[in-house]
Amino acid sequence: MSGMIKKAIFPAAGLGTRFLPATKASPKEMMPIVDKPMIQYGVEEALACNIQEFIIITGKHKRSIEDHFDSTFELEDKLRKSGKKELLEEINRLNKFSIAYIRQGKALGLGHAILCAKPFVKDEPFAVILSDDIIGSEDTLLKDMIKLYKEVKSPVLALQKVPRSEIHRYGVIDGLKESKGVYKIRDLIEKPLAKDAPSDLAIIGRYILTPDIFDILEKLKPGKGREIQLTDAIRKLLKKRPVYGFLFEGKRYDAGDKLGYLKATVDLALKNPELSSKFRSYILNISKSLKET
């Protein structure tokens, strides 16, 4: 098994129920944050780690994801003719790497979505990116996880401290701190009640996994919510090999949730060179008027 992480899986076949009705017939992953669809942030994060092969797990109503990462002759021609060189380069950047699309016929859970990628991953370690968890481009979470993977040669899960009031929405670890930001995981619980949570360390949407997870996923029965849960598979994996957690201390937005999506939009617009100054004045004006009411 090589130590390099060359492939990333993007599970994108979920039903996006938290964002209905927007997600009834169009993919959550294509909802724009400022001027890019959510999934593009994840793809750029992987490209920054030299990952060049992508496997996107799609489902019904997800075809626009494929179109987004494909070339569009008509649009390119128009941009070329009107001299919009920068925009042309920007859209061409997106069709330079290899992407495989796999349909997950039924949204049977995150674990099942990952299992669908088995024929493409074969015998290599790989990254999993949940594109509705947006990580700021100034942060190096995935890079740091890959670095840790190279040291420990074992799966690495991204962790973040979350308030007790939100813990029931996450997979939560029981772990032993090994060094700054690195935990050896003892156990995991999917979506525990706050009183049952073994810690405040939640698993967030970045994973480095090894191909032995596929054998476990193949045999796994549905768990919470009658879904094939990735956390249940990792729990079984723990009996066979060490699994590590890497604590992320930067900013993450859960853009699959309406409030998280709004926060991501505002913060990323404030950082966008084209918009920041005008948007900042607008926000300052709103907050002034909010204070007055």
Q: State the number of binding residues for ligand UTP (CB under 6 A).
A: 22
Minimal CB distance to ligand UTP: which residue?
Answer: 14
245 binds ligand UTP (CB under 6 A): no
Residue matched to tokens 């810690």: 199
Stretches 108-116, 119-127, 244-252, 259-267: which one binds ligand UTP (CB under 6 A)? 108-116
162 binds ligand UTP (CB under 6 A): no
99 binds ligand UTP (CB under 6 A): no
54 contacts: CB under 8 Å, gap ≥ 6 = 7, 8, 9, 10, 43, 46, 97, 98, 99, 100
Stretches 93-101, 127-135, 152-160, 243-251: which one binds ligand UTP (CB under 6 A)? 127-135
Q: Which is nearer to ligand UTP, 144 or 227 (CB)?
A: 227
234 binds ligand UTP (CB under 6 A): no
CA–CA separation, 35 vs 120, rounded Å?
31
Burial class (CB in 10 A: 0-12, 13-18, 19+), 263: middle
| Sequential DSSP letters for 53-96 | EEEEEE-TT-HHHHHHTS--HHHHHHHHHTT-HHHHHHHHHTTS
15 binds ligand UTP (CB under 6 A): yes
User: Site mask, ligand UTP, residues 77-96, x = CB under 6 A?
Assistant: --------------------
Q: How far is the CB of 206 from ligand UTP (least distance, A)?
A: 12
**CA-wise closest residue to 248 among 92, 94, 98, 140:** 140
Tokens of 56: 């996107």
38 binds ligand UTP (CB under 6 A): no
144 binds ligand UTP (CB under 6 A): no
233 binds ligand UTP (CB under 6 A): no
18 binds ligand UTP (CB under 6 A): yes
Residue matched to tokens 């993977």: 149
17 binds ligand UTP (CB under 6 A): yes
Sole binder of ligand UTP in the list 132, 144, 190, 232 (CB under 6 A): 132
104 binds ligand UTP (CB under 6 A): yes
Q: At what angle do helices 73-81 and 85-93 cross, to 10 degrees?
A: 160
Sole binder of ligand UTP in the list 49, 130, 202, 204 (CB under 6 A): 130
Cβ atoms of 246 and 142 closer than 8 Å: no
Tokens of 89: 């380069």
Dihedral angle sign, alpha carbons of residues 161, 167, 169, 172: positive
223 binds ligand UTP (CB under 6 A): no
Stretches 63-71, 88-96, 100-108, 262-270: which one binds ligand UTP (CB under 6 A)? 100-108
Q: How far is the CB of 123 from ligand UTP (least distance, A)?
A: 23
Cβ atoms of 180 and 173 closer than 8 Å: no
Helices vs strands, H then E, count in the chain: 11, 13
37 binds ligand UTP (CB under 6 A): no
Binding residues for ligand UTP (CB under 6 A): 11-19, 28, 57, 104, 107-110, 112-113, 130-132, 256
